[in-house]
Amino acid sequence: MSDTTPSDLPRQPGNLEHVIYVLRTNPVTLIAFGMFTFLILSALFGPALVPYDPLATNAGNALQPPSWAHWFGTDQIGRDVFSRVIVATRLDLTISVAAVAISFVVGSILGCIAGYWGGWADIILNRFLDTIMAFPLFVLAMGIVAALGNSVENIIYATAIINMPFYARLVRAEVNIRRDAGFVRAAKLAGSSDLRVLATQIYPNALPPMMVQVSLNLGWAILNAAGLSFIGLGVSPPTAEWGIMVAEGANFIVSGEWWLAVFPGLWLMFAVFTFNLLGDGLRDIVDPRKRT
Amino acid sequence: MLASSPRLRAILLRVAQAIPVVIGVVVISFLLTRALPGDPAVYFAGVAADEASIEETRVAMGLDKPLPVQFLHYVGDLLQGDLGQSLSSGRPVAVDLANRLPASLELTLPALFLAVVIAVPLGVLAATRPGTWVDHLCRVVVTAGVSLPTFFTGILLIYIFYYLMGIAPSPLGRLDFIYLSPDHVTGFYLIDAALMGDWETWRGAAKQLVLPATTLALFTLAPIARMTRAAMLTALSSDFIRTARAAGLSNRTVLYRYAFRNALLPVVTTLGMVFSFALGANVLVEKVFAWPGIGSYAVEALVVSDYAAVQGFVLAMALLFVALNLVIDLLYTAIDPRIGFEAQ
């Protein structure tokens, strides 16, 4: 997660002023960072702070509308919806962060190999990525989870696989345009090995656009994971997770118990919205064309 | 003959390019079916199977042969349209999918149409009037559209229009139980009912369609509107537009004949991505509205671990998507005359 902090991105002097300038002219980005901090805090400390045990049932207190005692009401077996929504933050963020981290690492390695050495590796990688992209991605994720088995880890792997092409392509392009650049030749002339040049001279250039991709991708990964658990994959019922809570709440919406589905849904939306805003903001910071 | 028509050659070339993709899709589908948790023979032999019958199933399904041979069998079955047998329905998966496909298309196509009809003008207006309320509306719609989980939008719409306002029918399938489903001709209820001249059923089916189609449209609207706006802005700031304006052409001509036609190209390209999202979102929308399409078929199959059905669905969707992308690219050649000549 620390990868996405703004101080990590720009390295040259003068960029701090630029970050401050962007944040000042675009308060939305600042708000997005605030929302992001809130999400991280609720993932870290939420389980310790929530007023009720997210799994504790209380049949006498079922399906209560929101009140002071239960801010988001209670569900069909009397569990506190607010506690469950907050506790679920950790699981949902873990799934998406883990998936994005895997696709980041694997995509970087594959993209570097294809972009730097080219040739057969490049052709095979491109065919492979084309094939993945030839599937409707959510449907492919369903197929992967069905094939690997229905578990949270496999949700992570499936989400990682369908995100991987975006990273691999980005890194490949960034590496490819720089492999014959002056500074790369200089580094080689100075006796650095291919691997060293790749790791220290070329790859870091791909990081800023990768960060933007990560932020936009996290939102999508959360949506995707929640969608999978909404159709009954991965997370199993007693666990608090936004997608499955919306799925359970959906059965009660036609009889008017809206709080069961609406609050987890809103939280899910909030998380995705945060990452999308953050991605747009990060793009403003790293996009050189926006610099004045 | 071929060389004389560069357009035709470009089209054939594009069709040829789809072949390796189809092969890749089939290979991945094959790997997915063979990556079943545990031993597929044990699974397909059923719960009550003993050693002997498991072995029998293994031989019967060809699972005792090496993987390349199994792959050839798999491709041979596919070429005959055999996607395997569904355990839950007991029918061939291909038949099940074919029966349910019209329901999915009847949901997806109007939704995509609705999305394009709203998103393209919205994007054009936002690009021609930057900073006005249309522009802000466009931005809000785009950001909300990509952040809203489809299943959540659907549930909210059900709550508002069915529970609170009571103007939508109950969100259960394609037709309320008070109507008889129309005679099966095309499988599209709207078309079948119209063919029978049964307008009451037609209205019933249309009413059921409004909420799910809106949900799907809201989801697909965002990328189209965003792309239209960006493409229009790029087109409007280009030199040929300045020249056209300087030549004194009317605002209308500049906008629609010059800028819009050029902006259409990237929009058509994004449609491919939009289809990918729409086919995925379709699964969720069908689940929310109990819509009896192929998406909910796959979800039901997942719940009972009916793997042949799920993998058949995945393969069918992938082939559908490859075909859609092919059509889009061919459309592209039709819109942009330069493409055919570049490919020479």
Give tens-digit pLDDT for A63-116.
Answer: 677 777 667 777 777 777 778 888 888 888 888 889 989 998 998 888 888 888
Inter-chain residue contact A272 with B146, CB threshold 8 Å: yes
B/e letters for B4-13, b = 16+ CB within 10 Å, e = fewer, are eeeeebbbee
Model confidence at B39, in pLDDT bands (50, 70, 90)? low
- Per-residue pLDDT of B98-117, as tens digits, reads 888 888 888 888 888 888 88
Instruction: Calculate what percentage of chain B has a pLDDT beyond 70.
Output: 88
**Is residue A159 a contact partner of residue A138, using CB atoms and an 8 Å limit?**
no
Q: What percent of chain A has pLDDT over 90?
A: 3
Q: Which sign, positive or negative, has the C-alpha torsion A5, A8, A9, A13? A: positive
- The full DSSP string for B229-249 is HHHHHHHHTSHHHHHHHHTT-
Is the pLDDT at A131 greater than 80, yes or no?
yes
pLDDT digits (tens, 9 = 90+) for A208-248: 778 777 877 888 888 888 888 888 887 777 777 888 888 88
Q: Which residues contact A142 (CB under 8 A, 6 or more apart)?
A: A158, A228, A231, A233, B283, B298, B302, B310, B314
Q: What is the mean predicted confidence (pLDDT) over B249-269?
A: 78
Q: Residue B37: its pLDDT value, please?
A: 57
Q: Do B155 and A231 lie within an 8 Å CB cutoff?
A: no
**Among the ranges given (A173-187, B45-59, B109-123), the one the predictor scored with the smallest mean pLDDT:** B45-59
B183 min Cα distance to partner chain A (Å) = 30
CA quadruple B58, B59, B64, B70: dihedral positive or negative? negative
Closest residue in B to A231 (Cα) is B299
Q: A260 to each of A8, A55, A185, A256, how far by Cα in Å? A: 39, 15, 61, 10
- pLDDT confidence of residue A106: 92
Q: What is the pLDDT of residue A2?
A: 43
Q: What average pLDDT does this structure show over A18-28? A: 70
Residue A279 has pLDDT above 70, yes or no: yes
Whether the CB-CB separation of B126 and B134 falls below 8 Å is answered with: yes
- B28 interaction partners in chain A (CB closer than 8 Å): 131-132, 135
Cβ atoms of B205 and B175 closer than 8 Å: yes
Contact A268 B149 (CB under 8 A): yes
Q: Mean pLDDT throughout B115-134?
A: 82
The three-class DSSP label of residue A10 is coil
Looking at the predicted structure, is the pLDDT value of residue B138 above 60?
yes
pLDDT digits (tens, 9 = 90+) for B193-232: 777 777 777 777 778 888 888 888 888 888 888 888 888 8
Task: State the pLDDT at residue B134.
Answer: 78
Which residue among B33, B150, B298 sits closest to A142, beta carbon to beta carbon?
A: B298
* Subunit contact B158:A253, Cβ cutoff 8 A: yes
Q: Is A262 on the interface with B (CB under 8 A)?
A: yes
Could you tell me if B134 and B242 are in contact, meaning their C-beta atoms sit under 8 angstroms apart?
A: no
A11 pLDDT above the threshold of 60: no
Residues 296-335 of B with CB under 8 A from A: 298-299, 302-303, 307, 310-311, 313-314, 317-318, 321-322, 325
At B343 the pLDDT is 41
Cα(A243)–Cα(B179) distance, rounded to whole angstroms? 34
Q: What is the pLDDT of residues B278-327, one digit of tens each?
A: 888 888 888 888 888 888 888 888 877 777 788 888 888 888 888 888 88
Q: Is the pLDDT confidence value at A291 over 70? A: no
Cβ within 8 Å of B, A 79-138: 127-128, 130-138
Token code pair at residue A199: 């790791």
pTM, whole model, 2 decimals? 0.80
Give the span between the Cα atoms of B104 and A57, in whole angstroms.
39
Nearest to A100 by CA among A227, A216, A198: A216
Residue B159 is predicted with a pLDDT of: 83
Express each pLDDT in B229-244 by its tens digit: 888 888 777 778 788 8
Going by pLDDT thresholds of 50, 70 and 90, the confidence category of residue B342 is: very low
Alpha carbon of B247: minimum distance to chain A alpha carbons (Å): 31
Q: Give the C-alpha separation, A210 to B246, whole Å.
A: 42
Least-confidence region, from A20-24, A271-275, B245-249: A20-24
ipTM of the complex: 0.80
Task: Provide the terminal-to-terminal Cα distance of chain A, rounded to the nearest Å.
Answer: 29
A292 vs B17 pLDDT, higher one: B17
CA distance B133 to chain A (A): 18
What's the whole-number mean pLDDT along residues A253-278?
82
CA distance A135 to A131: 7
| Model confidence pLDDT, tens digit, residues B324-340 | 888 877 777 777 666 54
* Cβ neighbour number for residue A143 with a 10 Å cutoff: 28
Q: Return all residues near B76 (Cβ < 8 A) that are at least 6 apart.
A: none
CB neighbours of B58 closer than 8 A, spacing ≥ 6? B41, B64
